[in-house]
A and B are shown apart, each in its own frame.
Chain A
Amino acid sequence: MSPRPGFVLEVDRSTPPTLFWRGERFSLERLPEGSRVIYAPEPIDPLKDPTAAIRAALTTPLGDKDPLPALLRPGMKLTIAFDDISLPLPPMERPDIRQMVIEQVLDMAAEAGVDDVAMALHRRMTESELRHAVGDRIYDAFAPNGLLTQHDAEDPEALVHLGLTDQGEDVEINRRAAESDLLVYVNINLVTMDGGHKSVATGLASYKSLRHHHNPQTMQKSKSFMDQHHSELHSSNWRMGRLIADSGVNVFQIETTLNNDTFPSGFTFLQKREWEWGAKDRLGYLAASKALDRTPARYARQIFHSVKAPHRMTSVQAGEVEAVHAVTTDTVWKQQGVVVEGQTDILTMGLPYISPYNVNSILNPILVACLGLGYLFNMYRGKPLVREGGVLIMTHPTPWEFNPVHHPSYIDFFEQVLIETTDPIEVSKRFEESFATDPWYVHLYRTGHAYHGVHPFYMWYWCAHALQHLGAVVIVGGDQAAVHRLGFRAASTLADALEMAKDVVGNSPTLTHLHAPPILMADVQ
């Protein structure tokens, strides 16, 4: 039976309660009659033979690009770059797609006699994270020789300025990548925002370059940043990507897509529609929710972060960046797209424990905001799911808690910046430069496992479009002080939040619930 497409349910008296994520916990909430619930399409069929599919993609590239074996020759300098731990979510069961792809690229390189191969990354990962991504064989072959390197956006020697775009944007990327005879970039395209020219222009760039598109003005003009054709973020990256190509950087782009089979057995009820829950699902929900309610938050976090998703590869394409990305985007849409008629006054969403920037870490309050207002709010094409001036209600405990190893500058941003202003433009003007150049953050980024000092600003800019669009944001069940610091309203129950929302949107609001994860994209007609 072929997988069913996405679905918009209208809640009536017989509709069972709807599952809401609350970080490392979840609850069942009864939505008002007439509300809509948007469900993701079911997982589409994976590739039957991913190894063969990868080989086929590498040997029959898209666009104006020779097959990979023809681009490889003895004595050349080859660099393979790949996405970091932020993709996919949750991390996938072994073997990771990156491992599967890179192994084949390396086999072809070895056959061609290439002996100068190095790999670059978006941010510093731990050894175990790297081993998970590329596999032990590749790690052991490259890491001990210093050929598995992490992209360092703060090492002036390791960066090269390629020029300015016609809009005056600096393009400064990793020197090894730019000066290689061939740069192979291996993507996992979890959402439509990923990949394309953004892979190199963002993933291998410096702060000097990133600041041209990672800013509140750009994000406010990206409606949404999941829709390349209406995203200023992408327009800027595309200008940069074309300049990179014109500069002679030979990029061989490999993009892969996954199905949305997100949770392993035992948690499958999390991706089922509630009225289709069987006895096993109900029992699974009860057992999991009761156990989690009794588990201290930090242990619950450990449990969830150990979950590996059974994602399977649905497509792989390789060759010229734009030709590859067009196919990839279509495939992602097929898996995630759901047609939705019209906007809503109130959009609700349950926020899970994970976002791209807290793998093996804490979803701190800034990441809570970014997950809801940055990522999930922007999961649309056409118009936002919620009307302008509408209300976003999110459920999450939003603890005032940070991982000091991964997010040191987030702590200071939360304590010292958001207490002054939550306006992204004001935040940018007054504080960004000093955080971006703070020597302590630079040190921790370069030598530890910390995100760059400017990263919390980017997370806040990610919210800029939603902050401009929404009339109010309410977090249900959050730490009140933390929620207020974000500039949002705190409610203890969903019913309270709905009452608060009525003050903004009137007494008879329409309500839509985004039932994610699994990830879905609303095509709002």
Chain B
Amino acid sequence: MKALVFERNLPRYAASRVASLLGSGRGAGIGPLQLLDAGPPDLPGNDWFHLRPLLSGICGSDLATLDGRSSRYFEDIVSFPFVPGHEVVGILDTGGTDHLGQQLEPGTRAVIEPVLGCAPRHIHPVCPYCAEGQTGLCGNVAFGDLGPGLQTGFCADTGGGWSTAALCAHSSQLHAVPESFSDEDAVMVEPTACAVHAVLSAGIRPHDVVALIGAGTLGLVTTAALHHLVRPDIPCTVMVGAKHAHQQQMARALGADTVVPPEQLARVVRREAGSLVLAGRLTDGADVVFDCVGTSESITQALAMVRPRGRVVLVGMPGKVSVDLAPLWHRELMLVGAYAYGRESSTASLAPHRTFTLAIELVGSAGLGSLVSASYPLERYEEAVAHAGAAGRRGAVKVVFDLRNRKGSTR
């Protein structure tokens, strides 16, 4: 069995950082990532189970890590060597129990909710956030029975999805996959859960103008979440800035009212909001802006198009950025993060639910498995990572590793 292992290796780290200047994902072959023989890690306890990955996605945060662009903030909440891969659908060869304590038969397909909060770490009593089900906010991600690691895929003790060997999944992390789901549907559950959490915690009100910057995987699933989970109760206008033609087409199909190239987004927001323009910023603007990119440029753009006291939600993982915060101060803007998932409050038509439960429903109703554009076997990881790094330009959305003994495909 093989696994892609990310080791702490400064020369390789530097090499990948230099190579990534040529394009995201270009340094996978010379960076700290190596394909090694590996077996499944030991289970950290009897409430842990082995999950053999079937598909595992390559996420923007994975790319940032491989490119050496990730913030140093994460250094103390990962442990080396780790096997990346937190977007995972796998199979429980020997069965297990799920997050509700229900028995899962051997051969059950499941996805993991990768946050490693108090429960997987056997920390008792659990922190107040975990007690409320807000596991994404857990501060104990370097303590307890596991090594540091904010999620599976960044922790040396659990293994990760980029492996043909099984990873370790705690029962609180396991969600069985509906029979009707393809593996491609299932692997989209984790990124979709991020979007569900972002839109349901954004405080959107009726008739709000909502803008999204970026239409990669996160931008598209956020668009779908707005359309399927927010708009049934809260009518709002959704405007998306999408760079590439296929992204524009998909954003429309997933429910965006207006889709334009990113440089035109501020102009359509201005028209919709009836705003003036002052010093390159809208005097009024969108009520909520979802930044699904997370760069200095996208955050600056978001701050320039949101209304006073409006909300900018960072859905895409930012790194160290340089942003002029004068407008944030002057216009009393809210710049908030939307990390991971947990438990969502009720809305008019939604009962309180685990984010993952809502995400599974959304993936099914919106057909989000179709966003998986290409799959690669582990052996072709350099190509896979380069493809993911240039996904937009190459007409792709989500690139995954296919761990089912197949040669991979593109569609």
Report whether A416 and B276 are in contact in the complex, using a CB–CB cutoff of 8 Å: no
Whether A416 contacts B274 by the Cβ 8 Å rule is: no
CA distance A443 to B274 in the complex (A): 12
Check A411 for interface membership: any CB of B closer than 8 A.
yes
Please encode chain B, from 237 to 275, with 1 for each CB lying within 8 Å of some chain A CB and 0 for all others.
000000000000000000000101000100110110011
**How long is the Cα–Cα vector from A416 to B272 in the complex, in angstroms?**
11
Output the least CB separation between B358 and chain A (Å). Answer: 33
Q: Out of B260, B264, B276, which one reaches A443, CB within 8 Å?
A: B276
1/0 per residue A403-445: CB within 8 Å of B? Answer: 0000000011001100000000000000000100011100100
- Interface check B277, CB cutoff 8 A: yes
Encode B100-138 as 1/0 by CB contact (under 8 A) with A: 000000000000000000000000000000000000000
Q: What residues on A are CB-neighbors of B258 within 8 Å?
A: 416
Q: Which residues of B contact A415 (CB under 8 A)?
A: 260, 264, 267-268
Contacts of B270 in A (CB 8 A): 440
- Are B267 and A439 in touch, CB under 8 angstroms? no
Give Cα A411 to B277, complex, Å: 15
Q: Contact flags (1/0) for A246-257 with B, using CB distance below 8 Å?
A: 000000000000
- Shortest C-beta distance, B291 to chain A (Å), equals 22
> A416 to B266, alpha carbons, bound, how many Å?
12
Docked Cα-Cα span, A439 to B267, in Å, equals 14
- Bound Cα distance A416, B260 (Å): 8
- Note all chain A residues with C-beta closer than 8 A to B275: 440
Q: How far is the CA of A232 from the CA of B274 in the complex (A)?
A: 34
B181: min CB distance to chain A, Å: 36
Chain A CB within 10 Å, residue with most, of B267, B268, B271, B274: B271
A450 to chain B, nearest CB (A): 12
In the complex the two chains form, is B277's CB within 8 Å of A440's CB?
Answer: yes
A69-108 interface bits toward B, Cβ cutoff 8 Å, 1 = contact, 0 = none: 0000000000000000000000000000000000000000
Q: Helix, strand, loop or mixed for chain A's interface?
A: helix
Q: Smallest Cβ distance from B278 to chain A, in angstroms?
A: 10
Inter-chain contact A439/B271, CB cutoff 8 Å: no
Q: A415-B260, A439-B276 are in contact. Are A434 and B267 (CB under 8 A)?
A: no
Q: Least Cβ distance of B315 to chain A in Å?
A: 25
**Complex Cα spacing A515 to B267, Å:** 39
A-B contact count (CB 8 A): 25
Nearest B residue to A435 by beta-carbon distance? B271
Chain A residues with Cβ below 8 Å from B268 are 412, 415-416
Q: Is the interface of B mostly helix, strand, loop or mixed?
A: mixed
CA distance A438 to B270 in the complex (A): 10
Min CB–CB distance A402 → chain B (angstroms): 11
Smallest CB gap from B268: residue in A: A416
User: CA of A438 to CA of B284 in the docked complex: distance in angstroms?
Assistant: 13
For B274, give the chain A residue with the smallest CB separation. Answer: A439
CB closest residue in chain B, given A443: B276
Q: Which residue of B lies closest to A415 (CB)?
A: B264
Q: How distant is the Cα of A422 from the Cα of B271 in the complex, in angstroms?
A: 19
Query: How distant is B248 from chain A, measured CB to nearest CB, in Å?
Result: 10
CA–CA, A439 to B283, complex, Å? Answer: 11
Bound Cα distance A438, B268 (Å): 12
Cα of A415 to Cα of B262 in the assembled complex, Å: 12
Q: Residue on A with the closest CB to B261?
A: A415
**Closest CB in chain A relative to B107 CB, distance in Å:** 50
Measured between alpha carbons, how far is A60 from B94 in the docked complex, in Å?
109
A10 to B270, CA, bound (A): 54
Query: When the two chains form their complex, are residues B274 and A438 in contact, meaning their CB atoms are under 8 A apart?
Result: yes
> Which B residues lie within 8 Å of A438 (CB)?
271, 274
Which residue of chain A is the closest to B267 with respect to CB atoms? A412
Q: For the complex formed, measure the closest distance between the CB of A100 and the CB atoms of chain B, giving whole angstroms.
A: 41
A381-B10 Cα distance, complex, nearest whole Å: 80
Closest to A437 in B: B274
A507 to chain B, nearest CB (A): 35
Cβ–Cβ < 8 Å partners of B276 in chain A: 439-440, 443
- Measured between alpha carbons, how far is A243 from B258 in the docked complex, in Å? 44
A412 / chain B contacts, CB cutoff of 8 Å: 267-268, 271
Question: Is A411 a contact of B274 with CB atoms below 8 Å?
Answer: no
Contact check, A411 vs B271: say whether CB atoms are below 8 A apart.
no
Residues of A within 8 A of B271 (CB): 412, 416, 434, 438
The 8 A CB mask of B26-53 against A (1 = contact, 0 = none) is 0000000000000000000000000000
The smallest beta-carbon distance between A419 and chain B, in angstroms, is 8
Nearest chain B residue, comparing its CB with the CB of A414: B264
- A443–B277 Cα gap in the complex (Å)? 10
Closest A-chain residue to B270, C-beta based? A440
B259 nearest CB neighbor, chain A only = A419
In angstroms, Cα B277 to Cα A520, docked, is 43
A residues less than 8 Å from B277 (CB atoms): 440
Closest-by-CB residue of B relative to A440 is B276
* Binary flags per residue of B262-304, CB closer than 8 Å to A gives 1, else 0: 0010011011001111000000000000000000000000000
What is the distance, in angstroms, from B366's C-beta to the closest C-beta of chain A? 24
Once bound together, how far apart are the Cα atoms of A415 and B268, in whole Å?
Answer: 9
Q: Mark interface residues in A120-131 (1 if CB within 8 Å of B CB, else 0).
A: 000000000000
Which chain A residues have a beta carbon within 8 Å of chain B's beta carbons? 411-412, 415-416, 434, 438-440, 443
The chain B residues found within 8 Å of chain A, CB to CB, are 258, 260, 264, 267-268, 270-271, 274-277
Q: Can you sample 20 A-B contacts with CB below 8 Å?
A: A412-B267, A412-B268, A412-B271, A415-B260, A415-B267, A415-B268, A416-B258, A416-B260, A416-B264, A416-B267, A416-B268, A416-B271, A434-B271, A438-B271, A439-B274, A439-B276, A440-B270, A440-B275, A440-B276, A443-B276
3 nearest CB pairs, A to B: A440-B276, A415-B264, A412-B267
User: A415-B260, A440-B277 provided; 17 other pairs, C-beta below 8 A?
Assistant: A411-B267, A412-B267, A412-B268, A412-B271, A415-B264, A415-B267, A415-B268, A416-B258, A416-B267, A416-B268, A416-B271, A434-B271, A438-B271, A439-B276, A440-B270, A440-B274, A443-B276
